[in-house]
Structure 1
Amino acid sequence: MKEELTALIIEDEELARNLLKSYLKDHPKLNLIGECENGFEGVQKINELKPDLVFLDIQMPKITGFEMLELLDHKPEIIFTTAYDQYALKAFDYSAVDYLLKPFSKDRMMEAIEKVADRIGNNESTGDKLEQLSSYAVNEYLERIVVKDRHKINIIPVDQVRYLESMDDYVLIYTSAGRHMKQNTMKYFEAHLNPKDFIRIHRSYIVRVECIAEIQQYEKESYIVIMKDKTKLKVSKTGYKKIKEALHF
């Protein structure tokens, strides 16, 4: 085990935070370096303090624990502490260190900490696992997208998104109010946006169906989409078939 494990608690309920702190105070090699009551604070504290381990609730106000994971620069080990069991199977599928279902005992928590120590001692990669875990951020289609812009976190309702554009390792998200950049893949958004509302028309573009104004042919078997705001976007052959199916023409 490392000489010392640093830990952070992110939990919106004060009673739950106090219980965790009472469990942790007797651990000989764990140093609790902070606590947060929501995911906004959590992102800032994790990136600033770079803890080895985070005890993370899932259902919190403002942003969920899964949404918070998407915004991290530093990738700590994660032990979930939650009253909800519906996320457990997927969390384990994607190698969360442990999943503590409230109410849990002190012994159960100590067991989870030992798993963290073993993982760190074996130099297992945390970052890749957390990226996989955060890609599971929802069990259904997205209703909102959380984006970090320097020191500000924006929550974008999906119904405000006009289209998305691939940009290397990032995706540009266009709304009527402007655009936002998120480190994610088009494949992720294609899987997590409702296909009734969004179509991938090209390897570089996903568009909201209701924002399409017209489709124009500019060469043989080559098309562009003209959005309601006059933006012109290329359409692939596969994308054209998807548009035809969606618009029934």
Structure 2
Amino acid sequence: MTSALIVEDEPLLRQELADHLRALWPELEICGHVENGIEAISVMESQRPDIVFLDIQMPGLNGMEVARHVAETTQIVFVTAYAEYAVQAFEAGAADYLVKPVNAARLMQTIKRLKTRSRDAMPAPVPPAVWQQVFGHAVAPYLKWIKASVGNTVRLLMVSDVIYFQSDGKYTRVVTAGDEALIRLPLKSLVEQLDPAQFTQIHRGAIVNLEAVDRIERDGTVMEIRLKGRSEILPVSEAYTRQFRQM
């Protein structure tokens, strides 16, 4: 049975598309409908849908960023309010595109196209560089989410929610307002993937989110960072004090 995932941040449009699909393609299994890119990547990894109906403009991870993580065997149908994006995506290799509000007659054309595109006849997957060339700034250059271990589970965390990263043996500790997790990515590699306007390294073993900094205290040559609403005190090593001297 063919399966599909719907990714749309507006509940009414998400439900409308699901209703249309059930009416026009009753044998299609809708394995999920989610409202953001983080949830989409999680469901795609667990369910491996044959098709994903993917909204382009979403908060957090947008459709172009999610497309970079779609499995090679999954067909993408972009759903967008901007026809110019949709046409370019189709030309770049997406199975099809739909312009909001979704029209039942146009959706029927998409369904026919999807049914005729057998997996053996599908074109080669679109390289991430192509999506970036087509959509320009729509694909962010910096890390926006990470996979992290919390106990026996793996979670997807938005990088913007991280207060600080801290080396912890072979792992890196990820601290958010309500949780802690571990990732295998070393701090040295991590700092190169973070937006320098938001994150800065303060020690060989620590990176802090500047938006989480409440104040910086000095006691002689010792510099420490106090965080908003938290009791931790993060020391700033001498090698990294220069960036805070003007603060």
TM-score, structure 1 length as denominator? 0.56
Structure 2 stretches lacking a partner, 5+ long: 149-154, 161-188, 195-199, 207-238, 241-247
Tell me which of 3, 17, 29 is aligned to 1:6: 3
Tell me which of 59, 66, 76 is aligned to 2:57: 59
Tell me which of 112, 115, 118 is aligned to 2:116: 118
The aligned residue for residue 29 of structure 2 is 31
- Please report how far the alpha carbon of residue 29 of structure 1 lies from its aligned counterpart in structure 2 after TM superposition: 2.8
- Residue correspondence of structure 1 range 61-140 to structure 2 within 5 A: 61-72=59-70, 75-125=73-123, 128-129=125-126, 131=128, 133-136=130-133, 138-140=135-137
Is the 8 Å Cα contact of residues 68 and 128 (structure 2) preserved in structure 1? yes
1:11 maps to a residue whose letter is: E
1:35-64, Cα deviation, whole Å (9 max, x unpaired) = 101111000001110000011101111110
Stretch deviating more after TM superposition (129-138 or 17-26): 129-138
Between the aligned partners of 1:132 and 1:114, the Cα distance in structure 2 is 29
Between the aligned partners of 1:111 and 1:152, the Cα distance in structure 2 is 35
Between the aligned partners of 2:110 and 2:77, the Cα distance in structure 1 is 7
Between the aligned partners of 2:134 and 2:73, the Cα distance in structure 1 is 16
Is the 8 Å Cα contact of residues 46 and 74 (structure 1) preserved in structure 2? no
- Residue correspondence of structure 1 range 35-50 to structure 2 within 5 A: 35-50=33-48
Say if 1:137 and 1:149 are closer, same or farther in 2 by CA, change over 3 A.
farther
1:99 maps to a residue whose letter is: Y
The RMSD of aligned alpha carbons is: 3.2
1:3-45, Cα deviation, whole Å (9 max, x unpaired) = x310110000011011111111121331111110111100000
1:153-185, Cα deviation, whole Å (9 max, x unpaired) = 4447xxxxxxxxxxxxxx876253489xxxxxx
Is the 8 Å Cα contact of residues 87 and 97 (structure 2) preserved in structure 1? no
2:156 maps to a residue whose letter is: K
Is the 8 Å Cα contact of residues 79 and 86 (structure 2) preserved in structure 1? no
Say if 1:145 and 1:85 are closer, same or farther in 2 by CA, change over 3 A.
farther
Is the 8 Å Cα contact of residues 50 and 74 (structure 1) preserved in structure 2? no
Q: Are 1:152 and 2:150 matched, yes or no?
A: no
Is the 8 Å Cα contact of residues 95 and 133 (structure 1) preserved in structure 2? no
Structure 1 stretches lacking a partner, 5+ long: 157-170, 180-227, 230-249
Is the 8 Å Cα contact of residues 69 and 130 (structure 1) preserved in structure 2? no
Between the aligned partners of 1:19 and 1:81, the Cα distance in structure 2 is 13
Is the 8 Å Cα contact of residues 17 and 102 (structure 2) preserved in structure 1? no
SS of the aligned residue for 1:29 comes to coil
Is the 8 Å Cα contact of residues 98 and 107 (structure 2) preserved in structure 1? yes
Is the 8 Å Cα contact of residues 94 and 132 (structure 1) preserved in structure 2? no
Is the 8 Å Cα contact of residues 78 and 98 (structure 1) preserved in structure 2? yes
SS of the aligned residue for 2:126 comes to helix
1:41 maps to a residue whose letter is: E
Is the 8 Å Cα contact of residues 10 and 38 (structure 1) preserved in structure 2? yes
Residue identity (%): 31
Between the aligned partners of 1:172 and 1:19, the Cα distance in structure 2 is 40
- Residue correspondence of structure 1 range 185-204 to structure 2 within 5 A: none
Is the 8 Å Cα contact of residues 53 and 77 (structure 1) preserved in structure 2? yes
TM-score, structure 2 length as denominator? 0.56
- Please report how far the alpha carbon of residue 135 of structure 1 lies from its aligned counterpart in structure 2 after TM superposition: 3.5
Say if 1:153 and 1:38 are closer, same or farther in 2 by CA, change over 3 A.
same
Stretch deviating more after TM superposition (12-21 or 66-75): 66-75
